[in-house]
Amino acid sequence: MSEEEVDPRHVLDRHMLEMLVCPLTKTRLTLSADKTELISIAARLAFPIRKGVPLLSLDEARNVEPEELQRHSG
C-alpha cells in the first residue's frame, strides 16, 4: 500500500494526539514530520506509531539526538 493509499484505520486522530502525554515526563508529545513517531522533547525520546497506534512504552522508545530535538521543538 502506498502513502496515498493509507488505511484510514491506521491514521492517528488529532484529538487523541492532544490527549496523549509522555509516560515518563507527563509532557505533551509532538508528531514527527513523517507522522511515524511521537516525540517527547522533555524526555528526549521518540515513540513509534504502528498502524495508527502510538506505542507509549519505554521499551519501544528510541533516544533522540539533540540536533533532531531542535527540529521538533521549533
Strand-strand pairing, 53-54 and 30-31:
unpaired
Q: What is the pTM of this model?
A: 0.81
Domain harbouring 19, CATH code = 2.20.25.10
- Specify the number of domains making up the chain: 1
Residue 15, all three cell numbers: 484529538
Model confidence pLDDT, tens digit, residues 8-63: 666 777 788 889 999 999 999 999 988 899 999 999 999 999 888 899 999 999 99
58: domain range?
Answer: 3-73
Give the Cα separation of 27 and 15 in Å (integer). Answer: 16
